[in-house]
Amino acid sequence: MVFIFYFIKSLTGVFGVEDKVKFVDVMEGDSVTLLTDANITVNDPLIFWKFENNLIAGINTEANITDVYCDKDRVKIDNRTGSLTITNTRTTDSGIYTVEIFINKKSTKVFNVTVYVPVISRETSCSSSSEISPVSKCELLCSVLNVSRVTLSWYNGNSLISSTSASDSHIDLSLPLKLEDKNNIYSCVAVSYTQKT
């Protein structure tokens, strides 16, 4: 720990290119990986990850030191690329992540991570087809609110019935289902697909 902080102080005068902020959305409970795009097996760089300006992980390849300083069960740093992975994300993981990479010069990448919780609602509406044949027809509506890059699906048991996807950020998504047999078990599932960094 002392060794890593010593190098931070000694390299504060070295400047490099700072990337634009990259926005990353992830559904609560999913995993997210923040990529450095660095090859740390060649140039023996120093890499430091910060969350809201607090040091959370670091790599000193020359001294063969790799360490994570918070929640080691969920936060991992790749000792080949320096990329940071957070598993089982929580809303408290939302915020600004900064990685500082020292390879001859200092370069910085900034990630704005938002961990969101989809709200799933199910509505049922039924109506009789006619007075002569009072067979009720029902429609279920499954909705998720404030989601990004999510696939919403209806299942009859384990069989997929229908699905729809959203690629935009923070939108509401709905998927209706007309019931053919009220005795079956239907389920609505929302799944996020690979986050872009």
| Alpha carbon separation from 160 to 43, 82, 91 (Å, rounded) | 49, 39, 30
Q: What DSSP designation does 62 have?
A: T
Asked if 2-116 and 119-192 have one fold, the answer is yes
- How much of the chain exceeds pLDDT 70, in percent? 71
Domain residue spans of the chain: 2-116, 119-192
Give the DSSP letter string of 168-183. Answer: SSSEEEEEEEE-S-TT
Q: Please list the residues that pair with 33 across neighbouring strands.
A: 85
Give residue for tokens 């009720």: 136
What is the per-residue pLDDT across 103-126, written as a single tens digit (0 to 9) for each? 878 889 999 998 877 666 666 666
pLDDT at 195: 44
Residue positions counted in the chain: 197
Residue 103: helix, strand or coil by DSSP?
A: strand
pLDDT at 140: 83
Q: What is the homologous superfamily of the domain 2-116 according to CATH?
A: Immunoglobulins (2.60.40.10)
Residues of the chain with pLDDT under 50: 1-17, 132-133, 194-197
CATH architecture observed for domain 119-192? Sandwich (2.60)
Angular region, 157: left φ>0, alpha ψ -120 to 50, beta rest: left
